[in-house]
Structure 1
């Protein structure tokens, strides 16, 4: 490389955002050796073509990535580099959750955090309920409350509710012991998912309220802390109370309905409910309707759903059969277990695809 294309370490540091001392360190570690070292003075010179690698190196180190992983990312292709980055981020998140949990435990031991016993529930039952209701929570939204679950402890029951505004799921549990006090709050969904995994291994879980959330006290001592999340949770009780009259009802096997949804080729799936049964609507005029074994009563109706909304609402239902309570093509549909009503999910219909925008009816 001609001498005039090189830049001294100070100029290269300014262009790359790395300090001169950091550049010397990365040169000695072999990550970013200079293009030329003056044999007499020892001055280091870098080429313009090294700026990109230097900037990427700086960005990776800002992610607290170890040198070995940085080198692997810099020297690998796009897919492998992405895999390494994802693995690093996952580890950082896991480590942060562990540190947060241990810090909360230390504060609890120090006696500086007031604790209020709430109730005791069966661990496996609580784990199932959390996983079922969490499917209705939001992901990647700017509204923190929608990424968590609303937990309410009354004098007789424990209720979990999640919603992403297109779906709402709620389940009520009967505690193993009468609740000691009432409580309500919205807790972090990711931390609650981790607590649920631990709850599954514990015969019972004792819930304790603290100023910043809930403690899940396990029988084996593997306690978990779930933080409260900010923001107002939607008034789901008002929504449930204001639902219109059910005009169409269908009883259908959960597995049969899921298979029909999974085999549908589009992002939206439509159904025709009629006295003769339930049919999956075709995606074009050439295809016939596909029958689904079901018992249907009430008014004939056509309804469309986003697959990503309907599938989790049905898959989390308890038992082999589900009840679909419908109120119109543009009203929330209630998905309930045919034999157990303590888990209820609402799913919002959508408009049919543009090329199938037909009148709803029989």
Structure 2
């Protein structure tokens, strides 16, 4: 394999019709491992020979084939793959007929009419994602959407986003089954928090959109209704596209960095990024602070945060390492996992001369 045969994950995603988050999910599931992973940055590259496998994987998921079935089809010969496909299609037709009959029975009993299916996801995964992202919410008069979780659902991905204006967190999940059509809306955060414990105990959750809300259809448990909120939610894509160029990138172990923040006595903390470490402490030069080893690319940088902004952004990161993408002392910092980049948080700094 030559370097010219490799493409970055973003280019591979565009070529295959899969999102980058879905590719990370399928890599973690063992279905489609990248051809190469940079040991320093965690960046993933794919071989042009993997394009057809990825496209086949996407088509199989579009017909609601579970991961085990996808693996079996991809690894089978042509004749066996055709047989497995026929069996799966027969099950889909039976399930569709059963859902239609259930809807008739539910209507006759006076139950809630079924809504538009917008996502089917694993309950424990959804509960974790909801709790992680909802740490970036806020309750402010006249801005109800800041207390909600914005959901964007499509056949390929379910994106969850929340913001309190100082921090924005977004996580993308791979659906267990494709949605009937795309949907977006902002769901009341308090309703979702109350539902999370039951969601966590449901192997699968069907998310259905109805007027003024969504239904979480749980397996073997009572379904939960969550209200949608009025108002326009900030466009996360536009926000990420407007960010400046990364000038310094630091990869640091999450737990030592969190411990250093916990030991810091003030309400605000300064991070000093140097060649091989991130130092956590006050802004005054006569206080050396707590050094944490880091892998750093780019120049030195000093940046200051409120503890209530930085600590939850770090504590909800996935995996043992956190990658900090810095653009200057007065620009938003992107925090994401260095090994699985499906939870991304933007954190706003404060002025360096802000009192401690």
- Under TM normalisation by the shorter chain, which class is it? 0.5 to 0.7
Q: How far 1:352 sits from its partner (Å)?
A: 2.5
Aligned-residue offset at 1:230: 1.1
**Structure 1's 150 and 172: CA in aligned 2 closer, same or farther, altered over 3 A?**
same
Q: CA separation of 1:284/1:247 partners in 2, compared to 1, >3 Å: closer, same or farther?
A: closer
Length, aligned pairs only: 251
Q: Aligned-pair distance for 1:237?
A: 1.4
Query: Which moved further from structure 2: 286-295 or 215-224?
Result: 286-295
Q: Aligned in 2, Cα 1:173/1:292: closer, same or farther, shift over 3 Å?
A: same
Q: Distance in 2 between matches of 1:301 and 1:109?
A: 65
**1:125-159 residue CA offsets vs partner (Å, 9 max, x unmatched):** 00000000000111344300110010011121101
Question: In the TM superposition, what are the counterparts of 1:26-37 in structure 2 within 5 Å?
Answer: none
- Separation in 1 of the partners of 2:354 and 2:348? 18
Deviates more, 1:110-119 or 1:257-266: 110-119
Equivalent pair of 1:215/1:226 in contact (CA under 8 Å)? yes
In structure 2, relative to structure 1, the CA distance for the partners of 1:108 and 1:283 (3 Å cut) is farther
Taking the TM superposition and a 5 Å limit, the aligned residue runs for 1:1-362 are: 110=110, 115-354=115-354
Contact 1:146 1:163 survives alignment (8 Å): yes
Q: Distance in 2 between matches of 1:312 and 1:153?
A: 25
Change (3 A) 1:355 1:237: closer
Deviations 1:91-121 (A, max 9, x none): xxxxxxxxxxxxxxx9996367562122210
Do the aligned partners of residues 298 and 130 (structure 1) sit closer, same or farther apart at CA in structure 2, a change above 3 Å counting? same
Q: Cα 1:114–1:218, aligned 2, differ >3 Å: closer, same or farther? A: closer
State the alpha-carbon separation in 1 of the partners of residues 259 and 195 from structure 2: 31
Higher relative CO (CA 8 A, sep ≥ 6), structure 1 or 2?
A: 2
Task: Tell me, yes or no, if the aligned pair for 2:134 and 2:189 is still in contact at 8 Å.
Answer: yes
* Residue of structure 2 in register with 1:32 after alignment: none
Instruction: Give the aligned CA root-mean-square deviation in angstroms.
Output: 2.0
Deviation at 1:163, TM superposition (A): 0.3
CA displacement, residues 208-253 of structure 1 (integer Å, 9 cap, x when unaligned): 1101111000001321001011111112210011111111011111
Maintained 8 Å contact 1:217/1:224: yes
Q: Give the Å deviation of 1:195.
A: 1.9
SS of residue matched to 1:240: helix
Gaps of 5+ in 2: 1-105
Q: 1:253 to 1:107 in 2, by over 3 A?
A: farther
Task: Give the gaps of 5 or more residues in structure 1.
Answer: 1-105, 357-362
Relative to 1, partners in 2 of residues 1:354 and 1:136: Cα closer, same or farther, differing over 3 Å? closer
**Normalising to structure 2: TM-score of the pair?**
0.67
Which has the larger Rg? 1
- Aligned partners of 1:132 and 1:281: how far apart in 2? 26
Structure 1 residues 285, 248: CA separation in 2 closer, same or farther (over 3 Å shift)? closer
Q: Is the 8 A contact 1:323 1:337 kept in 2?
A: yes
Question: Quick check: 2:264–2:281 contact (8 Å CA) kept in 1?
Answer: no
Aligned mates of 2:141, 2:197 — CA distance in 1: 24
